[in-house]
Structure 1
Amino acid sequence: MRAFIFPGQGSQAVGMGRALAEASPYAREVFGEVDEALGQNLFRLMTEGPESDLTLTENAQPAIMANAIAVLRVLEKEGGVTLSDKADFVAGHSLGEYTALCAAGALDLATTARLLKRRGQAMQAAVPVGEGAMAALLGADREKAQAIADAAAEGDVCTIANDNDPSQVVISGARGAIERAVAIAKDHGAKRAVLLPVSAPFHCPLMQPAADVMEQALGAAPVQAPLVPVYANVTAAPVADPVVIRALLVEQVTGMVRWRESVLAMHEAGVAHFVELGGKVLSPMVKRIAPDATTASIIGMDDIEALLNAL
């Protein structure tokens, strides 16, 4: 069994998508559709920068999605691959869940782009710059991370945002609490704690204003049943009902990304092959979660050709 997986924020880089667009009209088509949906030249920003603008949440989220869907579109159109024939499940990390839903036909491309643009704007606006923070706890599992967060909170918000793999958990919350957590992390058994260069504290209760915005936006968005089950971040379980999909995407804004559990659940359901489209961030996590699984990161035409030969 096989799962197609889609990366989250942080996988953006100036130059992304350029080689693919030069090689395939189908990739160019995707980038053009996204530009039209957003009313901005996002593709030029992806290929030329500046990096400071591409890194802005409202740009990075639709850009990462567009890049991954372009890879999928080339696979489908030039390789004759149908996602529902080659993938048993799809999943994505944070914003990647929207990409997964788009890949599986639950959301159309234009709707996905607009939702992610809105999501990025709402998440950025939810907390004034400088008041929130996130940190990666390395060499810490979820139990250790929870103990660190609890000890550092002191009445402030300090929660687990991403349970990425057995050795990496990200915490999010009020800046003071996150800085305290970084200071005490080693005392609680973590190897290292690193403040992340993010503009807002994602996936924590401080994001409630953004969740309210997304509840309204998703309520008005057309959502279909996906062609293959999508593993949801907040439940680490497959979902197919459009009503439930909407509710879980709202919950995801403030909730924990249960990536480790999602990969474990897919692996236990029989998935032996994980194919990451549009990035190379999730594949190393998968190997740490399910060491006997095979992984592939598909970004350029050479990767696509290699995957087509393997399918």
Structure 2
Amino acid sequence: MRAFVFPGQGSQSVGMGVAIADASAAAREVFQEVDEALGESLSRLMAQGPADELMLTQNAQPAIMANAIATLRMLEKDGGVRLAAKADYVAGHSLGEYSALCAAGSFDLPVTARLLRLRGLAMQAAVPVGEGAMAALLGVDRDRADAIAGAAVDSIMAERGGAPLVCAVANDNDPTQVVISGHRVAIERAVALAKEMGAKRALLLPVSAPFHCSLMIDAAAAMEDALLDADIAAPQVPLFCNVDAVAIAERGAIRVALVAQVTGMVRWRETVLAMAAAGVTQVVEFGGKVLAPMVKRTVPDMEAISVVSPADVEALARAL
């Protein structure tokens, strides 16, 4: 069995999509359709930068989706491959769930682009710039990351009291990589405590908001309103969702999961284990080289392929 998977924020870079667009009219059509949906040339920003503008959450999210879907469309239209015939499941990391659902036919491309633009704006607006932060803890599992986050909050509260701080696991990526999110002061304390509590390394991430924690409650409300109005079709294949690491295909369940994932943890490690338990033996990542290594660190025997370049697409089409 096979799963097609789609990366999340952090996989963007200036120049993304250029090679795919040069090689495939189908890919160019994706970028044009996204530009028209957003009323601006996101494809030019992706191709030419500037990098700091591409890094903005409201740009990065639809850009990553567009790049992934363009890669998939090249496979489908130029390689003659149908997702429903070659994939048993889809999954995505955070915003990658929207890419996965677009790939599986639950959202059309313009709707996906507009939802991700709104999602990025809502996430940025939920917490004033400078108040939140995220950090990667390397060489620890989720239990150890929970302990580090708790110790950070406890130490600050013991020193100064005041309102409770948020410092929680945001992404359980694989057995050796966990991301925490919350108030900046608590995240910085966690980074300072991490090494003495068993982490190999801890580093603040260059993000503009504390994603996937309770501080995103206003963004979740905005997405709930938007998704109530969105036309969601049943996916061609089930989606393994972030918040529960279970396969879902019912439209109401998809809507609930997409709202919950704004404040909820991305359970990617558990998702990979659940896919393996369901019989998945091969994972194909479209538009990035982020998820495949996490898959291999979680289930070493699972085949994991990253499809980024036209040559990658052509090789996959021959193999499927």
- TM-score bracket relative to the smaller structure: over 0.9
Structure 1 residue 206 corresponds to structure 2 residue 215: yes
Q: CA deviation at 1:173?
A: 0.1
CA distance in 2, matches of 1:76, 1:224: 20
Residue aligning to 1:62: 62
Residue aligning to 2:9: 9
Q: CA deviation at 1:11?
A: 0.3
Q: Which runs of 5+ in 2 are unaligned?
A: 158-163
CA distance in 2, matches of 1:24, 1:310: 19
Q: CA deviation at 1:189?
A: 1.2
Normalising by the residue count of structure 2, what TM-score does the alignment of the two structures yield?
0.96
Any runs of at least 4 consecutive aligned residues in structure 1 with deviations exceeding 6 A, and if so which?
A: none
Q: CA deviation at 1:227?
A: 0.4
Residue aligning to 1:79: 79
Residue aligning to 2:314: 305
CA distance in 2, matches of 1:230, 1:283: 17
CA distance in 2, matches of 1:212, 1:266: 30
Q: CA deviation at 1:222?
A: 0.3
Letter paired with 1:176: V
Normalising by the residue count of structure 1, what TM-score does the alignment of the two structures yield?
0.99
Q: Which runs of 5+ in 1 are unaligned?
A: none
Residue aligning to 1:190: 199
Letter paired with 1:171: I
Letter paired with 2:166: V
RMSD over aligned Cα atoms: 0.6
Q: CA deviation at 1:58?
A: 0.2
Residue aligning to 1:19: 19
Letter paired with 1:105: G
Q: CA deviation at 1:231?
A: 0.5
Deviations 1:173-225 (A, max 9, x none): 00000011001111221111110010000000000010010000111000011
Deviations 1:45-72 (A, max 9, x none): 0000000000000000000000000011
Deviations 1:247-278 (A, max 9, x none): 11011000000000001100111111110000
CA distance in 1, matches of 2:38, 2:251: 24
SS at match of 2:128: coil
Residue aligning to 1:35: 35
Count of residue pairs the alignment pairs up: 311
Structure 1 residue 232 corresponds to structure 2 residue 230: no
Work out the percentage of aligned pairs sharing the same amino acid: 68
SS at match of 1:185: helix
Letter paired with 1:143: D
SS at match of 1:275: strand
Residue aligning to 1:127: 127
CA distance in 1, matches of 2:143, 2:310: 41
Match of 1:221 among 230, 233, 237: 230
